[in-house]
């Protein structure tokens, strides 16, 4: 049983101002796995003041000093990689292979990328007699979700540290354990007091206080579009910068070529990764209408090959994160059935033999039209919708007919066609054949948010630009 009842503020583990706790459930067992304290606006105020004090000195550290700190964090995190993976499995049900692989691997990937980016980042640029300086924006409020807990912490905290900012982190109260270990790692690595602070809590109690606090200079939020709107609304009176990575309903355009079978199969398996709980998941597969029946057979076979079960059993798909999430997904699966989509695999209810735990049948709907609820709303579970298109112009039109624009995918053998199609998708992150790169920029168009994370590009969200005219170059 994990008992995380203290917050990390100003370099110390401290009690909350007002004692209040929450049970944290293991979604695979439906049993309480531990407890956390739930913070308040009073805790946020204390942490923000600590971060403001620390900013005075941390903001003027050298690149070399910050590189030394990030490398110390990397060394300490490597020692505790196994613990981090076990914690992610316990708090949000990630299968052991996923937890020790991508769930923790993304943290290390973003950290090493931040280190390499910092070595050559242009904080100063000379333009004739004017000097352009990139300076740390200040104290940052960081609000992260439960689905990729370490990844989302990494893409916010490491750029903040690299650029000279101080921060207050509020991780998701649904999967909060890994954030506690993360704070322990930073403390042991020697992060100066007040530079990084952690407060556990919920959105109304801590998230609102961070977004609205007058001494927070920037808030970075990852979560639902609905919650992101509230963050922006709460931040508006103090005119702080708001960076948001929100929802998605990402298209995967499968080309009509010799790689069709492989493209469909890979799209199915990719969609089911992390139990479908990925904002950039390829949740709308677009296939040539004349090959819909073929796609159904391939998708059904791919879904049948997915092993779902206990996270420590060798399964590749575990439970979804909570009972609330389970019920939402079930309702949307039923909605798809009611609206006339064809169930190719899965459906409502738990998989056979899994009566305990929030397990959802890996589900594929075909013959979906883009006006159906399951094609419009983010389901955030292992549910794939397959839509038909007449030609590539039609495919691009369907792909872009969405309120979202976080990600897009193009799958096929013809790279020239794939490049042409990818360039027409209105999304911030488009992958050809599911390519991946830590050096890319991640973020969305439209209601999927604003700003970008990952790599050196993510540094800019944490920097202000100052022009010093008449500075000279001597």
What are the residue numbers of the active site?
Answer: 245, 279
Token pair for 452: 């970008």
Phi, psi of 429 (to 5 degrees): -145, 105
Token pair for 252: 């995967």
Q: Distance between CA atoms of 397 and 240, rounded to whole angstroms?
A: 36
Q: How far apart are the first and last CA of the chain?
A: 62
Token pair for 5: 């009842």
Nearest CA-CA partner of 307 in 353, 262, 264: 353
Q: Distance between CA atoms of 84 and 40, rounded to whole angstroms?
A: 27
Q: At what angle do helices 149-163 and 63-79 cross, to 10 degrees?
A: 160
Q: Which residues of 342-368 are buried (b: 16+ CB within 10 A; e: fewer)?
A: ebbbbbeebbeebeebbbbbbbbbbbb
Token pair for 60: 């003027």
Looking up tokens 């298209």 gives: 251
Instruction: Calculate Rg over the CA atoms of the chain.
Output: 23
Q: Is 450 helix (H, G, I), strand (E, B) or coil?
A: strand
């Amino acid at each position: 049983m994990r008992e995380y009842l203290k917050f990390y503020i100003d370099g110390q583990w401290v009690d909350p101002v007002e004692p209040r706790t929450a049970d944290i459930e293991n979604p695979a067992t439906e049993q309480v796995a531990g407890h956390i304290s739930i913070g308040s606006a009073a805790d946020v105020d204390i942490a923000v003041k600590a971060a403001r004090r620390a900013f005075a000195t941390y903001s003027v550290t050298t690149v070399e000093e910050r590189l030394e700190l990030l490398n110390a964090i990397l060394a300490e995190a490597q020692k505790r990689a196994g613990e981090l993976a076990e914690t992610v499995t316990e708090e949000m049900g990630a299968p052991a292979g996923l937890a020790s692989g991508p769930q923790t691997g993304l943290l290390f990937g973003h950290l090493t990328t931040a280190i390499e980016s910092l070595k050559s980042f242009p904080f100063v640029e000379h333009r004739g007699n004017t000097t352009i300086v990139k300076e740390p924006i200040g104290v940052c409020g960081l609000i992260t979700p439960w689905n990729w807990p370490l990844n989302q912490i990494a893409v916010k905290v490491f750029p903040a540290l690299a650029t000279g900012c101080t921060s207050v982190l509020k991780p998701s109260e649904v999967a909060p354990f890994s954030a506690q270990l993360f704070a322990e790692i930073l403390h042991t690595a020697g992060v100066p007091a007040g530079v990084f602070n952690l407060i556990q809590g919920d959105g109304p109690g801590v998230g609102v206080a961070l977004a609205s606090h007058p001494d927070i200079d920037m808030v970075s939020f990852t979560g639902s579009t609905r919650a992101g709107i509230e963050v922006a609304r709460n931040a508006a009176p103090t005119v702080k910068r708001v960076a948001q990575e929100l929802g998605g309903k990402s298209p995967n355009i499968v080309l009509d070529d010799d790689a069709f079978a492989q493209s469909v199969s890979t799209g199915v398996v990719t969609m089911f990764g992390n139990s479908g709980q990925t904002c950039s998941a390829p949740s709308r597969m677009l296939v040539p209408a004349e090959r819909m029946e073929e796609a159904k057979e391939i998708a059904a076979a791919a879904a049948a090959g997915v092993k779902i079960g206990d996270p420590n059993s060798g399964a590749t798909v575990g439970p979804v994160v909570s009972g609330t999430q389970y019920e939402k997904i079930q309702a949307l699966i039923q909605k798809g059935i009611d609206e006339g989509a064809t169930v190719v695999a899965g459906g409502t209810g738990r998989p056979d033999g899994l009566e305990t735990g929030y397990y959802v049948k890996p589900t594929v709907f075909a013959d979906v039209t883009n006006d159906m609820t399951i094609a419009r709303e983010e389901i955030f579970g292992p549910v794939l919708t397959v839509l038909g298109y007449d030609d590539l112009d039609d495919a691009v039109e369907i792909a872009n007919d969405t309120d979202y624009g976080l990600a897009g995918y193009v799958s096929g053998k013809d790279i020239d066609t794939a490049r042409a199609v990818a360039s027409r998708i209105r999304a911030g992150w488009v992958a050809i054949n599911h390519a991946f790169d830590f050096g890319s920029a991640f973020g969305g168009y439209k209601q999927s948010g604003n700003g970008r994370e990952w790599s050196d590009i993510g540094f800019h969200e944490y920097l202000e630009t100052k022009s010093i005219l008449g500075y000279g170059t001597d």
